[in-house]
A and B are shown apart, each in its own frame.
Chain A
Amino acid sequence: MLKSVGILLVAAVILFIEVPPLLEKKYKKELIVFSILLAFGVGLGIAYSFGKSIPNPIDLLTFIFKPLHDAITR
């Protein structure tokens, strides 16, 4: 619980630093990409802090390349 509060605090600090200059310059696209990435990061962080398993890109790569490796080394 404490960890996720910490993550939200960090996210709040990041929002506080980044968003005002973006609004001032009217960078709409930047704001959208930034928000999506931040939401993704916060989501992952909270899931991790509760001990949930997080999709691991290595598993995906293993799934793709393992048959190739087996075929070559056999």
Chain B
Amino acid sequence: MLPTVKINSYQFLVLVILFTIGTSILVIPSALAANAKQDAWIAAILGMGIGLLIVWLFTKIGLWFPNLTYIQVNETLFGKWIGNIFSFLFIFMTFLYTAILLYYSGSFLTIHVMPNTPMAATNILLAIILVMAVRLGLETVARSAEIFIVIFFILFFILVVFIAPEVEFKNIQPVLETDINKIFQSSLPLIVLSAMNAISLLMIFPAFINRPRSAKKYFLIGNIIGGLIITIITTLCILVLGSDMTAFQKFPGYELAKKINIGNFVTRIEAMMAALWIICLYFKMVIYFYAAVIGLAQMFQLKDYRPLTYPLGMIVVILSLVIFPNILEQSVYDATIDIYFALTVCLLLPLLMVVVYAIRKKQLKKNSDHA
């Protein structure tokens, strides 16, 4: 029906890595350090482990029907009406996250890089390339991701090497001072951002990949690599800035880059490092938007998804401008409401799918044999 392009497993791996890192690299250290203090790095590893379990569940769900996207699986399992309601929830979530990420990038750029530019200008610019990427299709996105991942890892390597002299080990002592419950609690935002939201990748995972069975392990590996990078960044933030400073900052990763000072010569290279976050943010946004657009097209059973991109892009820009009146409201939303919303759509619904699939397994098998 819709697009017939297929990406290979390596391209999918790259997309998973960029998706997992996404916004987490910028904001997660402060969320982790808020409760877990100097044990934030333990929280990051814990979050990574639990996240891996959830991603494993998603791969299981994806491989039930190797030719269908998440929306179509919904319809097959729950029937037309209930399936469409669940699909609508999913599309609503991905669309909302596109707007939220656009807000993130806009607020990051207007706070740190271009303070006198109105947020609408940066958002419109980013939305134009967002719409462009989705119109050009998944293959173009995947290929550009292959190029950008190299730049990403070079910049990341530079950041880690250059910040190494600033490390102070007394910042993470004493280890494991925090209550284990608190550590678990503070790893929740990481699980939500990196693992649960990976349900959007189910729009790509089985249907648009040339060998879905081998791609399953790349889904998990990509998640591990992304989780490791977040763990490294969090650990560095704690080691260099200290836990209080990390929790206090809005974008601790950016503050980290500001600390770089090699012999009073290599200093203030944070603008270069901003490229890191923008690359990740952009690809995560593209995947969300792609999932929303394709999802909508499949829900209405359209033959082409491209006509939807411009109007939806327009709505996303306006939504990103009104969605949070100020940064405070955004951080309250991220810490409370977003977690419940993501738990409902990204964990409760898939678990419900597992139950329904277990009940209807035989009947579905029979249907597919006849078809």
Binding site for B on A (CB under 8 A): 10-11, 14, 17-18, 22, 27, 29-31, 33-34, 37-38, 40-42, 44-45, 48, 53-54, 56-58, 61-62, 65-66, 68-69
User: Is B175 among interface residues, defined by CB-CB distance under 8 A?
Assistant: no
Is residue B310 within 8 Å, beta carbon to beta carbon, of the partner chain?
Answer: yes
Contacts of B314 in A (CB 8 A): 10-11, 14, 38, 41-42, 45
Residues of B within 8 A of A14 (CB): 310-311, 314
Instruction: Kindly list chain A residues whose C-beta atoms are within 8 Å of the C-beta of B302.
Output: 27, 29-30, 33
Q: B323 to A56, Cβ gap below 8 A?
A: yes
Within 8 A of A (CB), among B299-350: 300-304, 307-308, 310-312, 314-315, 318-319, 321-324, 329, 333, 336-337, 340-341
A-B contact pairs, 18 of them (CB 8 A): A17-B310, A27-B302, A30-B307, A33-B307, A34-B308, A37-B311, A37-B312, A37-B315, A38-B314, A40-B311, A42-B314, A44-B319, A48-B318, A54-B318, A57-B323, A58-B329, A65-B341, A66-B337
CA distance A49 to B296 in the complex (A): 27
Our pick among A27, A40, A42 for the contact of B303 (Cβ within 8 Å) is A27
Give the CA-CA distance A46 to B315 in the complex, in Å. Answer: 11
Chain B residues near A48 (CB-CB < 8 A): 318, 321-322
Which of A10, A44, A53, A66 counts the most chain B CB atoms within 10 A? A44
- B: residues with CB less than 8 A from A are 92, 96, 296, 300-304, 307-308, 310-312, 314-315, 318-319, 321-324, 329, 333, 336-337, 340-341
Asked whether A65 lies within 8 Å of B337 as measured between CB atoms, the reply is yes
Q: Are B337 and A41 in touch, CB under 8 angstroms?
A: no
CB neighbours (8 Å) of A58 from chain B are 96, 323-324, 329, 333, 337
Once bound together, how far apart are the Cα atoms of A17 and B303, in whole Å?
18
Complex contact B340–A68 (CB within 8 A)? yes
Measured in the bound complex, the distance between the Cα atoms of B20 and A42 in whole Å is: 34
B312 → chain A closest CB, angstroms: 6
| Contact between chains at A69 and B303 (CB < 8 Å) | no
A74 vs B231: C-alpha distance when bound (angstroms):
31
List A contacts of B336 (CB < 8 A). Answer: 65-66, 69
Given A34-B307, A68-B340, also A45-B322 (CB < 8 A) = no
**Apart from A41-B312, A57-B92, what are 5 other A-B pairs with CB-CB below 8 Å?**
A18-B310, A44-B319, A61-B341, A62-B337, A69-B337
The answer to whether A56 and B307 have CB atoms under 8 Å apart is no
Determine the chain B residues whose CB is within 8 A of the CB of A30 once the complex forms.
302-304, 307
Central interface residue in B318, B319, B324, by most chain A CB within 10 Å: B318
- Chain A nearest CB from B340 CB (Å) reads 4
Question: How distant is B182 from chain A, measured CB to nearest CB, in Å?
Answer: 14
Does A37 contact B308, Cβ atoms closer than 8 Å? yes
Residue of chain A at shortest CB distance from B100: A58
- Chain B residues with CB under 8 Å of A57's CB are 92, 96, 319, 323
Q: Assess whether A65 is in contact with B340, with CB atoms less than 8 Å apart.
A: yes
B329–chain A nearest beta-carbon distance, Å? 8
Chain B residues within an 8 Å CB radius of A68: 340
A25 and B303 CA atoms in complex are apart in Å by: 11
In the complex, chain B residues whose CB is within 8 Å of the CB of A42: 314
A34 touches B311 (CB 8 A): yes
- A5 to nearest B CB, angstroms? 15
Distance of A18 Cα from B314 Cα, bound (Å): 14
Q: What's the Cα separation between A41 and B337 when bound, in Å?
A: 26
* Chain A residues with CB below 8 A from B341, complex form: 61, 65
- Residues of A contacting B310 in the complex (Cβ-Cβ under 8 angstroms): 14, 17-18, 38
B315 in complex: contacting residue of A33, A44, A65, CB < 8 Å: A44
Q: How far is the CA of A38 from the CA of B308 in the complex (A)?
A: 9
CB contacts (< 8 Å) of A18 on chain B: these are 307, 310
Question: Which B residues are CB-close (under 8 A) to A62?
Answer: 333, 337
Give Cα distance in the complex from A68 to B348, angstroms: 15
Q: Bound state CA distance, A53 and B340, in angstroms?
A: 26
Given contacts A30-B302, A38-B314, A62-B333, contact A22 B340 (CB under 8 A): no
